[in-house]
């Protein structure tokens, strides 16, 4: 099967720093994949390249048969790839529901004439937008929270709103940048269940950046490891766990013993 996302030899330099160095990654449709690596490995930069926020220096990115190179972020979104942000970037003054409604923008018929004359089509679309946004909020477990100002939600819930907002554009693929960061263990377990439901119930391919090895090992079918901008390994969780280069990359920078207990905590 052809990969849904096919990234080849992608490179991005910031001045003298090569944040992403000749990275090749393929993402299978309907899969849950993880991208891991130490801090500063270039994971977020990779997401920013994919979603058009940065332009790659070299390399190709083909998504669903179309090249992503040169597309603006809104065009990438319209092409069916959506994302969340490592540091939550909700529209803080808007309500939770409005946040999700904005996520639908690329799927809407935006017409000044219809907006000003309030045509039947416009009203129907507005009803649909609200309905779908509240359905999505229920899907991520935030039923009834739609009217709250997003700033006032607890951290874990804000991450869920971001996911609902990203799902609002009916993406084929969703990029989650450290979606469980800042969550307590129970929230993390719930979030993992949510990621699975995103794939199983909505049929959306999931790619996540994660530091929490329980999440990575617990739900991903395929893992790519970045270090200093380069892909140093990829494979199934079992392969990655026993890969000496990965262990070295992590042990080289983190306290010994962190990897071991985390990899064994695969109870979820």
Ligand X SMILES: Nc1ncnc2c1ncn2[C@@H]1O[C@H](COP(=O)(O)OP(=O)(O)OP(=O)(O)O)[C@@H](O)[C@H]1O
Q: How many residues bind another protein (CB under 8 A)?
A: 67
Q: Mapping DSSP to helix (H, G, I), strand (E, B) and coil, where does residue 211 land?
A: coil
118 contacts another protein (rule: CB under 8 A): yes
Residue for token digits 């693929």? 173
Strand 222-227 with 230-235, pairing: antiparallel
**Partner touching 39 among Mg ion, another protein, ligand X, none, CB below 5 to 8 Å by kind:** ligand X
Q: By the 8 A CB rule, do 102 and 85 touch?
A: no
State which of residues 42, 179, 218, 237 lies at the interface with ligand X (CB under 6 A): 42
Task: Give the closest residue to 251 by CA, choosing from 241, 236, 239.
Answer: 241
| Other CB atoms within 10 Å distance of the CB of residue 257 | 9
* 139 is a site residue for another protein (CB under 8 A): yes
Query: Hey, what are 65's tokens?
Result: 């048969």
Q: Which of 38, 75, 12, 2 is nearest to 209 (CA)?
A: 38
Question: Which residues, numbered 174-203, are part of the site for another protein (CB under 8 A)?
Answer: 201-203
Residue 41 near which of ligand X, Mg ion, another protein, none (CB within 5-8 Å, type-dependent): ligand X
Q: Are 216 and 222 in contact (CB under 8 A)?
A: no
Q: Does 218 bind another protein (CB under 8 A)?
A: no
CB-wise, 101 or 208, nearer to ligand X? 208
Three-state DSSP class for 31?
Answer: coil
Of 68, 83, 73, whose CA–CA distance to 53 is shortest?
Answer: 73
One of 13, 59, 170, 182 touching another protein (CB under 8 A): 170
Q: What are phi and psi of 16, to 5 degrees?
A: -85, -10
- Nearer to Mg ion among residue 139 and residue 250 (C-beta): 250
Closer CB to another protein, residue 4 or residue 225? 4
**Binding-site partner at residue 191 among another protein, ligand X, Mg ion, none, CB < 5 to 8 Å by type:** none
What is the binding site for another protein (CB under 8 A)?
4, 29-30, 51, 53, 64, 72-74, 77-78, 82-83, 85, 89-95, 97-98, 101-108, 110, 112, 115-116, 118, 122, 125-127, 129-132, 134-139, 143-144, 146-147, 149, 165-170, 172, 201-205
């Amino acid at each position: 099967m052809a990969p849904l996302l096919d990234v080849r030899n992608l490179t991005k330099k910031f001045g003298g720093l090569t944040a992403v160095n000749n990275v090749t990654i393929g993402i299978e449709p309907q899969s849950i994949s993880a991208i891991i690596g130490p801090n500063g490995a270039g994971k977020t930069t990779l997401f920013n390249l994919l979603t058009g926020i940065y332009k790659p220096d070299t390399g190709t990115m083909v998504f669903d048969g179309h090249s992503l190179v040169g597309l603006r972020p809104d065009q990438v979104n319209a092409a069916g790839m959506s994302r969340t942000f490592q540091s939550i970037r909700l529209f803080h003054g808007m309500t939770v529901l409005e946040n999700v409604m904005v996520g639908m923008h690329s799927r809407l018929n935006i017409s000044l004439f219809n907006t000003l004359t309030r045509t039947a089509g416009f009203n129907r679309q507005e009803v649909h937008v609200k309905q779908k946004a509240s359905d999505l909020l229920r899907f991520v477990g935030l039923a009834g929270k739609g009217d709250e100002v997003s700033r006032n939600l607890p951290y874990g819930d804000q991450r869920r709103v971001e996911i609902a907002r990203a799902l609002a554009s009916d993406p084929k693929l969703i990029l989650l940048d450290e979606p469980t960061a800042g969550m307590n263990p129970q929230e993390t377990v719930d979030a993992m269940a949510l990621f699975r439901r995103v794939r199983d119930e909505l049929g959306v391919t999931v790619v996540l950046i994660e530091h929490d090895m329980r999440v990575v090992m617990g739900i991903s079918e395929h893992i790519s490891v970045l270090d200093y901008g380069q892909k140093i390994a990829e494979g199934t969780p079992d392969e990655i766990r026993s890969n000496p280069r990965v262990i070295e990359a992590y042990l080289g920078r983190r306290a010994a013993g962190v990897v071991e207990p985390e990899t064994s905590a695969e109870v979820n």
